[in-house]
Amino acid sequence: RLFHAFMHYARHPTSDINFRKALCHAFDYDGWINNILGGSVVRNTQVIPNPMWGAPKNWPGYDYDLDKAKMYLSKVQGPLREIVVAGMVGYEQSMQGAALLQNGLNRIGVQTRLVNEPFPVTSQRMRDPEQMYDVLFIWRSTYYADPYNWAGELLASNRRGNGNAGFYSNPEIDKLLDQALATTDQEKRAPLYEQVARLSSEDAAGLYIHNTKWFGPFRKNVSGVRFCPIGDGQEMRWVSVA
């Protein structure tokens, strides 16, 4: 389950790669993971969750560095404006993540407005580039256990407004995604998704934060529990109680 933030690719200034990189360096990842969430999650530096095949190993991603953020901000073309950073009412981490980014952006001189709205409102905005926020904190869960569940659904041009709520578009990434879908050979598909993950990270296509750890405590008399990447992580078909 990837926790990330969409950045509106079709609207200035988040359409500017330098501004997106400034945002990526303005989020306090260590503070988020270790202080706010108490180490219950792990850093995920790119679009595919770390345990999934197709995720590049040891990809550095972005760190919290306000000096780098200011440097990239100085390269942004055109005037800046107030940025709308959004979370979802009823989803505490989403709202907390938005507030943490707002703090970082305020420290580098970017004016922000924090908006928290319920999911039905957010869901409608995600389909419309005119209504979509500049930044939105959200999760991408495992609806099907394949790298395309993240890389394709969040980045492919043909998914804009339907999964790709940042309205991101990159012809090179589209080509790689199409190539990965054209074969069932995992050994051929994996390096294509790894390249997608690296390229989209370099392009600051999104703000990628953490992957959720799985905690599944059971009584001692329960056996046969198997992990499942879909749903709540618990495959119950083989469970028995002594």
Tens digit of each residue's pLDDT (9 = 90 or more) over 79-116: 999 999 999 999 999 999 999 999 999 999 999 999 99
**Whole-number pLDDT of residue 235:** 78
Q: Environment class of residue 144 by beta-carbon count within 10 Å: exposed (0-12), middle (13-18) or buried (19+)?
A: exposed
**Whole-number pLDDT of residue 231:** 64
**Whole-number pLDDT of residue 181:** 97
Distance CA 229, CA 88 (A): 24
**Whole-number pLDDT of residue 236:** 81
How many C-beta atoms surround the C-beta of residue 213 within 10 A?
A: 12
Q: What is the pTM of this model?
A: 0.91
How many C-beta atoms surround the C-beta of residue 40 within 10 A?
A: 12
Distance CA 12, CA 239 (A): 52
Mark the ranges of the chain whose per-residue pLDDT is less than 50.
Answer: none
CA 168 to chain CA mean position, Å: 13
Contact assessment for residue 23 and residue 205, using Cβ atoms and an 8 Å cutoff: no
**Whole-number pLDDT of residue 215:** 74
